[in-house]
Amino acid sequence: MDSPPQFTALVLDLFGTLVPAPSTRERALAVHEMASAMKVPENLVTVAVKESWLPRHDGTLRTTGEVAARLTATCGAPRGRAPHVEAVLRKLAPGRLQADATVLQCLAKLRRSGLKLCLLSDAAPDIAEAWSRSALSSHFDVALFSCREQAVKPSRQLYAKALERLDRDPRSVLYCGDGGGAELAGAARCGLRAVRVERRGGPTALAFGAEPSAWRGVTLKSVEELPTWLAGLPVGAGSSR
């Protein structure tokens, strides 16, 4: 068994941390497919996707079908095109959850060390619905998605729910993310220690409410460095419950 951790649980972000944050090319391809499904100009879909970020992520739109219906209506397409948009969203979601083998190996090592793992992601219903079929899912004890918790980062509600599900005191929990959505400051305000990783997908990848330039805490190159960093912490760096 690997050496025991100084923390007892770890909360991890998804996009930009475990899998690449969306690229402009990826977003353009998704817009193209949805525009084709609706038979409308791509610029209409681009605006609709951007303007619907919050309702897609904060639980206002609870299912992929509801998201598709909202996008279709916003773009002025016939209501009958919504199932085609839903099919596009469902088709694309699994690809967004494909993690590198090194990430999966890292997660396995963290769990072997005795840490409980929680995913905490600002995510739309298509991602939440595809999660259980991803290779990532089996490595987590808890998975929380903003669309299901009806709050987005840095809401205290999300961190409190993570601590509740983990059954841990915040002082014994480490939060790790790329910094989008003011997540690191939000974690720190709730008593968790936070560490930043450089955004997976590169600095030009899309992110909502990015905060890396304001972060003054520990920054690692990638999530794969976590096991080594944790092993090097002095005894008592994270309190046991």
* 3-state secondary structure at position 239: coil
pLDDT of residue 239: 42
DSSP assignment of 156-169, as one string?
Answer: HHHHHHHHHHHT--
User: Mind giving me the DSSP string for 132-201?
Assistant: GGSTTGGG-SEEEEHHHHT--TT-HHHHHHHHHHHT--GGGEEEEE--GGGHHHHHHHTT-EEEEEPPTT
DSSP 8-state code for residue 68: H
Residue from 165, 214, 169, 220 nearest 191 by CA: 169
Taking only the tens place, the pLDDT of each residue in 141-169 is 999 999 999 999 999 999 999 999 999 99
Statement: residue 238 has pLDDT above 80: no
Closest CA to 118 of 146, 142, 138, 135: 142
Reported as a single tens digit per residue, the pLDDT across 69-92 is 999 999 999 999 999 999 999 999
Helix or strand or coil: residue 229?
helix
Angle at the Cα of 143 from the Cα atoms of 60 and 195, rounded to 5 degrees? 105
- pLDDT of residue 214 exceeding 80: no
- pLDDT grade, residue 96 (50/70/90)? very high
Q: What is the mean pLDDT of residues 115-134?
A: 97
Neighbours of 169 (CB within 10 A): 16
Per-residue buried b or exposed e for 192-210, using 16+ beta carbons within 10 Å of the residue's own CB = bbbbbbbbbbeeebbbbeb
The pTM is what?
0.90
Looking at every residue in the chain, the average pLDDT score rounds to 91
What average pLDDT does the segment 166-192 reach?
94
**44 has pLDDT over 60:** yes
Contact 48, 68 (CB under 8 A): no
Residue 52 in this model has a pLDDT that exceeds 50: yes
